[in-house]
Amino acid sequence: MTLADHVTRLLATPVTPTADHSWDDTTTHIQRFRLPTGEEIIAKHNTTAAMFAREHHALRHWAPALAPHAPRLIAADPEHHLLVMTALPGTPLCDQRLDPTSEQHAYRQAGRLLRRLHAAAPPQLLPDFGQQRAAYIRAQLAGDTAPLTAEELAFTHACLTRLEDLPPQSAVPSHLDFTSRNLLLSEGGTVSVIDFETSRYEAAGRDFLRISMRALLARDDLRDAFYEGYGRQPSPAEQHLMSLCGAADAAAIAVTATANRQDRFTAEGHIALQHFMRTNNAPAVP
């Protein structure tokens, strides 16, 4: 049965495929359909039950706080890990060619959206965040650690030791893949956020990490605009957490991507890890 067949059965109405939005190097299937009314919808088949559950929860409970700048859930099929949601206008921000003023405006909007997401539900306490995160990364590094050098591996393990020493963390509803490829910019200049499959309660510092290490890393103007939209800069404690998690995550990404022959992600992991080693932020305790 095709994805179109599943959506037709779920909605009890015929649908017409109009575009495939699936990402390379992933097994998640995302397709755009048109209803008989002319409305465009998105159907997403998540690879695992955990990914489906995270995105389903976020679309039900957190995305409404971002309306109309996040998808609205239309229907769900837990048995087949299928979600149907409204289609949002625009194309990924990473694919746009904008002048600096327009870029700053877009990232300022992105900061506002992330702040609204973090406030979508009351915070929770994660008493052993650092220990759990360090254990997860250590498991990723338990086998062949190619392509990490001995120096990179030693630096990573130093970060993991300090990560284990972190105090309990206040956690908020988090996206955890808040990057320019998951931010849509419409022709009218409005930003929306998509792709909640990694979302969960997490320390806010980790939700700043991906966009900080990618789009904002070499652009102080975009970084200033983003955090102006968010309403504040990361606190010293959040910056410390970002350094520890950033270095550890980068090492794990480089290793797992190499094992899976995902050269682009291997390169991204190495660039990020080298950044933390150059700045020497990660081992420092504030």
pLDDT digits (tens, 9 = 90+) for 128-187: 999 999 999 999 999 888 889 999 999 999 999 999 999 999 999 999 999 999 999 999
Secondary structure of the chain in the HEC alphabet? CCHHHHHHHHHCCCCEEEEECCCCCCCCEEEEEECCCCCEEEEEECCCHHHHHHHHHHHHHCHHHHCCCCCCEEEEEHHHCEEEEECCCCEEHHHCCCCHHHHHHHHHHHHHHHHHHHCCCCCEEECCHHHHHHHHHHHHCCCCCCCCCHHHHHHHHHHHHHHHCCCCEEEEEECCCCCHHHEEECCCCCEEECCCCCCEEEEHHHHHHHHHHCCCCCCHHHHHHHHHHHCCCCCHHHHHHHHHHHHHHHHHHHHHHHHCCCHHHHHHHHHHHHHHHHHCCCCCCC
Q: How confident is the model at residue 280 (pLDDT cuts 50, 70, 90)?
A: low
Residues 3-86, CATH architecture: 2-Layer Sandwich (3.30)
CATH topology of domain 91-279: Aminoglycoside 3'-phosphotransferase; Chain: A, domain 2 (3.90.1200)
Global pTM value: 0.92
Whole-angstrom Cα Rg for the chain: 19
* Alpha-carbon gap, residue 164 to 134, rounded angstroms: 6
In sequence order, the β-bridge partners of residue 77 are 82
Q: 145, 153 in Cβ contact below 8 A?
A: yes
Lowest-pLDDT choice from 115-124, 142-151, 154-163, 206-215: 142-151
Please say whether the dihedral angle defined by the alpha carbons of residues 111, 116, 120 and 125, taken in this order, is positive or negative: positive
Hey, where are the domains in the chain?
3-86, 91-279
Q: What pLDDT digit, counting tens, does each position of 240-257 carry?
A: 999 999 999 999 999 988
| % the chain with pLDDT above 70 | 97
